[in-house]
Amino acid sequence: MTNEVEPNRPALPYTVAILGSFLIVAVLVWAMMKLVQPPPTEDRPAARAKALAELRAAEHEAQTTTAWIDQAKGLVRLRTEDAMSIVARDWGRDPGQARSNLIARVEKATAKPPEKPSQFE
């Protein structure tokens, strides 16, 4: 057994490999930025402002009007003030009864139709 010392390997191949990998990552990042970025248009701020105005109008309507959500299940969207007055009235009279009514309404609103049995059963 001889104690031979390995010769020093030149660092050039490792340096080239590391720099090459960094270059590949940089090219991929640049390409993704170009592919993902939407094309510049002059009316983009106007379109975003219009979309925000429509969203706020829909939110305001949902908070201030009464409408059917699911008429078959009997689900109605109430104005916030009306809902708060109903809750205060019901919970002020009998909290236990109000809690049981609330649980029954939640179960009715979230009830799933029965699943069809598998053909293999």
Q: What is the pLDDT of residues 65-89, one digit of tens each?
A: 999 888 887 888 899 889 899 889 9
Inform me whether the pLDDT recorded for 115 exceeds 70: yes
**Furthest CA-CA distance within the chain:** 97
Per-residue confidence at 8, pLDDT binned at 50, 70, 90?
Answer: low
At which residue do the structure tokens 């708060």 appear?
Answer: 84
DSSP 49: H
Q: Which two tokens stand for residue 64?
A: 């201030």
